[in-house]
């Protein structure tokens, strides 16, 4: 975890953000939960327990800044924003298998874009999201 935290702190500095106690605590929480998407309100609750005077706006702003830096991935789950620490800094473009029972996230190494591009002659694909859902090996 120390190396992962050091990498995250370096990313913050490269993006001209200070590494504060609050940002460190949030990063540690996200790193500890990096194999699952976590509801943003859960992150907010954790930060309020650790730093009672911290405002909701500051917490949500930090999550947004982490996303812009590539430190977290965000998705909507039943209209609720969820985040997780990024899987892979070297390959920002990647996809996931998400267990519908335990929420475990497994990174997929292949992108299906070429498969779909072949089926859309004359079209230009300019974006996509690809996630698979089911039961992980442990839950199956």
Annotated binding site for Zn(2+): 99, 102, 136, 139
Q: Which residues are annotated as a binding site for Fe cation?
A: 93, 114, 128
Strand partners, 80: 77
Coil, strand or helix: which one is 30?
Answer: helix
Q: Which residue has the tokens 């500890």?
A: 32
Structure tokens at 1: 């975890």
Residue whose C-alpha is closest to residue 108's, from 123, 136, 130: 130
Q: Which residues are annotated as a binding site?
A: 93, 99, 102, 114, 128, 136, 139
d(CA 91, CA 5): 18
* Element housing 22 (H / E): helix 21-32
Q: Which residue has the tokens 């390959």?
A: 91
């Amino acid at each position: 975890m120390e190396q992962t935290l050091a990498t995250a702190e370096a990313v913050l500095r490269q993006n001209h953000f200070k590494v504060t106690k609050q940002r460190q605590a949030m990063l540690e929480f996200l790193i500890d939960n990096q194999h699952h998407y976590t509801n943003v309100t859960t992150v907010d609750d954790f930060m309020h327990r650790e730093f009672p005077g911290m405002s909701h706006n500051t917490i949500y702003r930090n999550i947004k800044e982490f996303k812009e830096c590539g430190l977290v991935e965000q998705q909507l789950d039943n209209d609720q924003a969820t985040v997780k620490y990024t899987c892979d800094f070297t390959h920002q473009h990647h996809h996931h298998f998400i267990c519908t029972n335990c929420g475990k996230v497994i990174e997929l190494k292949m992108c299906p874009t070429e498969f779909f591009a072949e089926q859309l002659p004359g079209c230009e694909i300019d974006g996509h999201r690809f996630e698979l859902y089911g039961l992980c090996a442990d839950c199956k």
